[in-house]
Amino acid sequence: MSTYRESQPRASYGALLGLLSAGAALASAELVAALTGPGSSPVTAVGSAAIDLAPVWLKDFAISTFGNYDKPVLLGGILVVLVAFAAVAGVASTRRFAVGAVMIALLGAVGVLASSTRPDASALTALPSLTAIVIGVAVLRALVRRSTTDNSSSARRTFLVTAGLALAGGVAGKFFQQRSSDIAESRSAIQLPKPVSPAPARPAGHSFAIPDLTPFETPNRDFYRVDTALVIPELRAEEWRLKIHGMVDRPMELSFADLMAKPLIERDITLSCVSNEVGGPYASTARWLGFPLAELLRQAGVRGGATQLVGTDSAGMTIGTPLDVVMDGREAMLAIGMNGEPLLPANGFPVRQLVPGLYGYTSATKWLVDLELTTFEKYDAYWTERQWDPIGKALTASRVDVPKPFARVPAGPVTVAGVAWAQHRGISAAQIRIDGGEWRPVELSTEVSPDTWRQWRTTVQLDKGLHRIEVRAADGRGDWQPEERTRPFPRGATGWHSVAVTVT
């Protein structure tokens, strides 16, 4: 019994040593990452590697379950594992220092491996994790020695000082990594030029004023975000360069000023994510300002045989786009503006690519810095490597926004409304049905363009009880959404969206 009582404080004491050592290691790594780049931070590098290695079903689960919080949840999970491992390492070090030291070093080694295998890795990328190994082991050694030679009050002061320095170092490292003020200054200095081809005026009736109905234009800060970036790239417009190369006659390099000086166009375009489940939130519409992508490629001189345009972001993430789609007359562009202002960092500042009619995973490279003309046979982009369909044609989708799922509404006339989209084909009709009955037509908002979604609305009489409302839409060719419910992988979800409501 006495042995058990004596081992308890010893275990907690050792766990504290491990946590302090790991904290000091991470703090030193974050300070070094302020020089080598936020992506080289061990936690960020490990998180990015976890995203790349995660199977499709796990990514779908994370997006559908956590939405925009999927990345904080991932980072939180990594930190929980790190804390547990460090605590065990600390306990081990009180019995045999070498064992605890090896465990702390292993944490850093994982960071070295993850950071050095990133697409944008450089000779210095692993330096923060290597620093973490040295500092973590050194601090653990010092704490173990101090704990065996000093009295309890002196050891307590040592622990508090170590914890304070680790916290201060971590905060300072994150502070110096941030360039938000620089990016804000870069954005605010931009005066977007007037387009030579403005977006046509939106027609009367393009939007319905119904509470809780998705607005036609999505505010910039509410625009959906699904990507693999744990740290939003921060590029100053003044430093931005775009390289165009590969199967072209005239390789080019553009600055942001070069792009601003070109004759720009302005268009309303709806974007959507292939990860969207039926009825999901990952679709948004904005008024984009940019330069036609097809014209830029013609200036570079596309060589015969090229079939794929590979866009690469500043962190090395690649997106492959079918070249024939870009060149078929649709208004694909390199966008620099969104709803009348420069892009936000989360939306791809300073320049992003978009192609109407394709899901974002094959068309919408954010933080774009490189365009390479190649073929599908020669190169597999990020998502193609993971067996997603290489074309990524956006499927017809529709959603019930009003009433909300599981809403309670009074008996009588009930407003039902939502949105439908089939980018580059347009929406020609939408219908709803109640409790599996006959399909009935709904009123569509006036079409802005085939590249944008349309709102729909109707009023139905509902009696007391539980009711199910379903919606389906037809694209501009008259093809209706299929009833069969499929998951997003590998080419987008299908099926009719429905909501259940209680009528009182």
pLDDT at 326 over 70: yes
pLDDT of the residue at 5: 40
Domains of the chain: 2-178 (no CATH), 220-385 (3.90.420.10), 397-503 (2.60.40.650)
Q: What pLDDT is attached to residue 146? A: 75
The pLDDT of residue 4 is above 60? no
Alpha helices in 117-255 (DSSP H): 127-149, 152-177, 180-188
Q: What is the pLDDT of residues 419-431, one digit of tens each?
A: 999 999 999 999 9
* pLDDT above 60: residue 279: yes
Q: How confident is the model at residue 36 (pLDDT cuts 50, 70, 90)?
A: confident
The reported pLDDT for the residue numbered 7 is: 41
Determine which of 29-38, 401-410, 460-469, 483-492 has the lowest per-residue pLDDT on average. 29-38
Peptide bond into 490 cis (omega under 30): yes
Given a cut of 60, whether residue 6 has pLDDT beyond it is: no
Residue 178 has pLDDT above 80, yes or no: no
pLDDT of 362 above 60: yes
Q: What is the pLDDT of residue 166?
A: 56
Q: pLDDT class for 205, splitting at 50, 70, 90?
A: very high
Structure tokens of 302? 């596309």
Q: CA 467, CA 502: separation in Å to the nearest integer?
A: 6
Q: Output the pLDDT for position 37.
A: 81
pLDDT-derived band of residue 156, with 50, 70 and 90 as boundaries?
Answer: low
Element housing 105 (H / E): helix 97-116
Cα–Cα distance for residue pair 277/365, rounded to 1 Å: 21
State how far the Cα of 267 lies from the Cα of 214, in Å rounded to an integer: 19
Q: Which residues contact 183 (CB under 8 A, 6 or more apart)?
A: 234, 235, 236, 345, 349
Q: Which helix (H) or strand (E) holds 122?
A: none
pLDDT tops 80 at residue 311: yes
Residues 6+ apart with CB under 8 A from 400: 279, 416, 417, 418, 432, 469, 470, 471, 497, 498, 499
| Residue 231: partners with Cβ closer than 8 Å, 6 or more residues away | 38, 39, 41, 44
* Residue 9: per-residue pLDDT: 45
Could you tell me the pLDDT band of residue 2, with boundaries at 50, 70 and 90? Answer: very low
DSSP of 224-258, one letter per residue? Answer: ----S-SS-----GGG-EEEEEESBSS-EEEEHHH
77-94 burial: b if 16+ Cβ within 10 Å, else e: ebeeebeebbbbbbbbbb
Instruction: Give the distance, in angstroms, between the CA of residue 498 and the centroid of all CA atoms in the same chain.
Output: 27
Provide the pLDDT confidence category of residue 175 given band limits of 50, 70 and 90: low
pLDDT band at 118; cut points 50, 70, 90: confident
User: Structure tokens of 502?
Assistant: 């209680």
Identity of the amino acid at 503: V
- Could you tell me which residue, 301 or 12, shows the higher pLDDT? 301
Mean confidence (pLDDT) of the chain: 90
Share of the chain above pLDDT 90, in %: 68
How far, in Å, CA of 51 to CA of 417, rounded?
A: 36
- 57-83 tens-digit pLDDT: 887 788 777 877 788 888 889 889 998
**Gyration radius from the chain CA atoms:** 27
